[in-house]
Amino acid sequence: MRSCPFIVGGYLWFIQCFPNGCKPENAGYTSVRFRLLHKDAALAKPLKLQFKFSFVDQIDKQESKRIRAGKVYEFLGSRHIGFARCRFVKREVLEKSEHLKDDSFTIRCDIVMVEEFNSVVTGTSSPSIEVPPSEMQQHFSSLLLSEEGADVTFDVSGEKIAAHRCVLAARSVVFKAELFGNMKEGMPTTSVIEVEDMDAQVFRAMLSFIYSDSLPEVKEEDDYVMWQHLLIAADRYDLLRLRLICEEKLCEYLDVSAVPTILALAEQHSCRGLKERCLAFLNSPANLQKVTAIGGLDSLATCCPSVLKDLIAKLASLRQEE
């Protein structure tokens, strides 16, 4: 499927959607791609742009400052006529989501053209100076991977992970207190800090976010569980943005079997937005009855007694109406 052409930066583009994936290995996903029309593919010079795919009702993802904070891509015309998100959303997740209405959904693609900076010089010539996009994210990510200059080591589930105190302290007040608090004065730079109740893979993913401020790579088979553990880690180290990202990701997995676990997690870690989404899901009489039928409310008895009380009252009223 393809959209009607639209103009950005003086060029004609269109969006393609592949409900069954754009490649065989992405068969379980819906893929999206935006492309330059072939007649405009011969560019005088590469275009630099930023883009973001979202469902039309995901207003928060369409904020200009959020798009501009993302990676800058170079568009090479005839040699590179499109950008794709091959795993935009799982088909099974989309089919259960609120984005699907009357068997249809609307995808939005925001594109920002990055203009070059020209320096005007007096005289006969006016050479241009091209300012490259920031590479800070790549530099800090490389610093984490290389461990160069690392001055603190964490023991996480028996695995040693090196990092840099100043980076951690700048990003997390919890790390700042742990690494530079009064009790840490005189602590040798070769010290090893034991991190309890956390998997090494989760800790590494959290560090990746701390250094790059971007989403860590999550394996498809581990994504649901990983987002839960990352949310717990983000709450533990007071990383608000990462916690909100995890909340947003977990909303994609809301279904009859998952909602009790996600609601309990939201209640335990004071995730208001995630909790509201869970309650909105359970606000459907059909969903609430299905969750009750599989014993999903039992898990809420200890962690969310007040929520459970309200749900039981609602369930009772539904049965009276039958």
Highest mean pLDDT of the ranges 118-132, 260-274, 282-296: 260-274
pLDDT of residue 305: 81
Amino acid at 34: F
Spell out the domains of the chain, with CATH numbers in brackets.
Answer: 6-113 (2.60.210.10), 135-253 (3.30.710.10), 258-322 (no CATH)
**For residues 72 and 48, what is the distance between their CA atoms, to the nearest angstrom?**
6
Kindly state the percentage of the chain with pLDDT values over 90: 29
- Residue-wise pLDDT for 278-305, tens only, equals 888 888 888 888 888 888 878 777 777 8
What pLDDT sits at residue 297? Answer: 79
Q: Which residue has the higher pLDDT, 222 or 175?
A: 175
Confidence of residue 134 (pLDDT cuts 50, 70, 90): confident
pLDDT at site 176: 94
pLDDT value at residue 60: 64
- pLDDT value, residue 35: 81
DSSP-derived pairing of the beta strands 192-195 and 152-156? parallel
Q: Which residue pairs, CB below 8 angstroms and at least 24 apart, start in 189-195? A: 189/151, 189/152, 190/153, 191/152, 191/153, 192/153, 192/154, 192/155, 192/160, 193/152, 193/153, 193/154, 193/155, 194/154, 194/155, 195/154, 195/155, 195/156
Q: What is the mean pLDDT of residues 122-127?
A: 56
**How much is the average pLDDT of 84-110?**
83
| Confidence at residue 206, expressed as pLDDT on a 0 to 100 scale | 96
**Alpha-carbon separation of residue 215 from 151, 166, 230, 308 (angstroms):** 25, 21, 11, 33
- pLDDT at position 244, please? 92
Q: How far apart are CA 84 and CA 309, in angstroms?
A: 46
Does position 119 have pLDDT exceeding 70, yes or no? no
Instruction: Mention every residue, 6+ apart, whose C-beta is less than 8 A from residue 18.
Output: 1, 26, 30, 31, 32, 33
Lowest pLDDT segment from 134-138, 164-168, 275-279: 134-138
Q: Higher pLDDT residue, 184 or 204?
A: 204
Q: What percent of the chain has pLDDT over 70?
A: 81
How sure is the predictor about 227, in pLDDT bands with cuts at 50, 70 and 90? very high
Q: pLDDT tens digits, residue range 177-193? A: 999 986 555 555 557 99
Identify which of 257, 249, 246, 239 has the alpha carbon closest to the alpha carbon of residue 294: 257
Span 60-77, pLDDT tens digits? 666 666 666 677 777 766
Specify the pTM.
Answer: 0.61
Higher-pLDDT residue of 246, 98: 246
Look up residue 309 and give its amino acid.
Answer: K
